[in-house]
């Protein structure tokens, strides 16, 4: 099972507490992971990536294994540690404040 950590606002929108556990069919990529996430929680469609182009929304980032995967190709395989559930996949809101 893959462990997905959503930002606060998306957890509330999806109505989930804590991490989301997802079974994702191989090959496990950012695209297939996010497809699975959106299929489970349709309310998240359009909130993480564009509905049509699947381009990541500008102020979101994707982290895993202490790496920023935001600009990696969406069809690149995710690290084994994410696939095995050892490490979570983070959807993160970019920092902003004042």
Partner 1 sequence: MSQVRALIGTKKGAFVLTSDAKREKWDVAGPHFGGWEIYHVKGSPVNPQRLYASQTSGWFGQVVQRSDDGGKTWEAVNNEFRYEGEPGTHLWYDGTPRPWQFKRIWHFEPSTTDADAVYAGAEDAAIFRSTDGGKSWNELAGLRQHDSASKWQPGAGGMCLHTILIDPANADRLYVAISAAGAFRSEDAGQTWRPINRGLSSKYELPDPNADVGHCVHRIAMHRSRPQVLFMQKHWDVMRSDDAGGSWREVSGNLPSDFGFPIDVHAHEPETIYVVPIKSDSEHFPPDGRLRVYRSRTGGDDWEPLTRGLPQSNCYVNVLRDSMATDSVDPCGVYFGTTGGQVYASADAGNHWSAIVHDLPPVLSVEVQTLP
In the complex, minimum distance from the CB of residue 45 to partner 1, in angstroms, rounded to a whole number: 7
Nearer to partner 1, 7 or 88 (CB): 7
Question: Any idea which residue has 């190709």 for tokens?
Answer: 73
d(CA 56, CA 46): 9
SS3 category, 73: coil
In the complex, minimum distance from the CB of residue 28 to partner 1, in angstroms, rounded to a whole number: 24
Nearer to partner 1, 10 or 78 (CB): 10
d(CA 37, CA 31): 10
Edge to edge, the sheet with strand 2-5 lists 20-22, 2-5, 89-93, 60-64, 67-68
Nearer to partner 1, 8 or 26 (CB): 8
Residues that bind partner 1 (CB under 8 A): 7-10, 13, 43, 45-48, 51-52, 57, 59-60, 93-94, 96
Nearer to partner 1, 26 or 95 (CB): 95
In the complex, minimum distance from the CB of residue 57 to partner 1, in angstroms, rounded to a whole number: 6
Contact yes or no for 70/44 (Cβ under 8 A): no
């Amino acid at each position: 099972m893959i462990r997905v950590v959503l930002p606060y606002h998306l957890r509330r929108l999806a109505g989930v507490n804590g991490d989301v556990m997802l079974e994702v069919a191989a090959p496990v990529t950012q695209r297939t992971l996010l497809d699975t996430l959106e299929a489970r929680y349709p309310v998240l469609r359009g909130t993480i990536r564009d509905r049509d182009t699947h381009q990541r929304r500008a102020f979101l980032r994707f982290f895993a294994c202490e790496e920023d995967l935001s600009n990696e190709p969406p069809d690149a395989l995710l690290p084994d540690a994410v696939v095995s559930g050892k490490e979570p996949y983070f959807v993160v809101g970019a920092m902003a404040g004042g």
